[in-house]
Structure formats: C-alpha cells, structure tokens
Amino acid sequence: MYKQIYTSGSLHEEFASRLASDEPESVFSWVSQVLESLPPAQRANGVILVAYTGSPSGLSWLENNVASPVKDAWGIAAALLGATWPRIESWLSDSGAKKLMALDALLACRRAVPSMAPLHQIAAPTLQGAPTPKNLDACLSKVLATTPTPRVEAAVASIRKHSEEILAIRNRSVAVSDMPKLYLNPLKFPGAASILEKHEIVARGIRESVAEVLSEHITQTRH
C-alpha cells in the first residue's frame, strides 16, 4: 500500500489543511499515526503539532510515545496541552525520556520571552496545580540526585532561576480547546500582532546575517 512521505514543510501544510476542514479529534488521530510512523528524530521535529490539535488525548499520547531524542518540543507540547503539576511530577520520577519532557514542560510555563516560538508566546501556558516553592525545589533535588547528567543539570538550573514565574498563579492566554484556532489564525488572539511582528524582525535579521556570511564565504573561496 502507498505510504505518504512527509517533509517537515509538507507535514505542516497538510496539518493546517486538515485542521481547517476536519474536527480536531480527527486531525489528532491522523497526525499521531503519521508521527508514530516516522523515525524518532523526525517524530521529535513534528511532535509540536499534537499540541495544536487541542486534543484531550494528546497528553496521554505524549506520555506513551516520548523517546530519544527528547527535544524541547515534547515538553512544550505537554505544557501547551495543559499538563498539570501532578502529571509532571509523575514524569519526573519515571524514565529518562519522560523526565526530560517534564523538565522542558516546566520551563515552557515561564513567562513568554522572544526566544520562544511565537505561538508558544501567544498561548502563554501555565502550570496548573503548582506546588509550593519548597516542594518544587525538593523534587528537583531528587531529580538531580538520580539523574546527574549535563542536560538535566542545565534544565534544573533554568527552572530554579525562573521558578517564581513558573509557579505564579495566572491565566493562560489561549485555552487548550482553542489551540487549533491559534494555529490557523493567531492574529485573533490578544497581543499576537506585536509578538508576530517582533518575531519577523528577529527572523529577518537572522536571514540577513546568514546571507552575509554565505556571501563573504563565496567571495573568499573565489579569490
């Protein structure tokens, strides 16, 4: 039977097309099956799409499918889908893959900064059922004691640095159920225009810098 082969761009394009015409649960069923058919590295690159289905089944899918390489998209997707502290805490005491996803999910709940993807900034996920600062710190210390790897140490340091933001009680800007709408038409949400404009300015600057470096390299190799 013919099997569709997706590039990152074509996967996003078909995802948007289906999201515009089908029910979110139907789109989740489709994209989760596509992701499961991909090699781990490609799956990690596309996993963020699970979040934009807004599916109630999304968190369980992430939980059951997270695997190396655990890029931060796994944790960001979990945060965008509203992962609560009890669930994240259970991941922290589980396997290495779930542990890394949990740490990235906590970091994704800090206040929005320009380094975040624009839709992540607009959604502004929060940590529901947040622990006390003391309980969070104790949990992180346990994580460090059991998994003292550079990746875990760096994540824990960042979480501790931004713990006040992560634990703050505030409303997220986009409800989980509205994630499909955010993906299709982000400008409908408050503050989106400014975020998207700033992102484009930064992206344009990066593109121009890369173009200059390439141009200089080509000039040097010709002489």
Token output for 126: 């929060």
Instruction: Count the alpha carbons within 13 Å of 70 in the hemisphere toward its beta carbon.
Output: 22
**How is residue 22 annotated by DSSP?**
S
The answer to whether residues 83 and 162 belong to one domain is: yes
Distance CA 140, CA 34 (A): 34
Domain that holds residue 217: 191-223
- As a whole number of angstroms, the distance between CA 47 and CA 75 comes to 10
Indicate whether 114 and 210 sit together in one domain.
no
| Partners of residue 84 on adjacent β-strands | 128
Residues 53, 160: one domain? yes
Residue 212 lies in a domain: yes
> CA–CA separation, 100 vs 7, rounded Å?
26
Q: What's the pLDDT score for residue 92?
A: 97
Q: Are residues 176 and 222 in the same domain?
A: no
Summarised one tens digit per residue, pLDDT across range 62-108 is 999 999 999 999 999 999 999 999 999 999 999 799 999 999 999 99
pLDDT digits (tens, 9 = 90+) for 7-38: 667 899 999 999 999 999 999 999 999 999 99
218 and 178 in a common domain = no
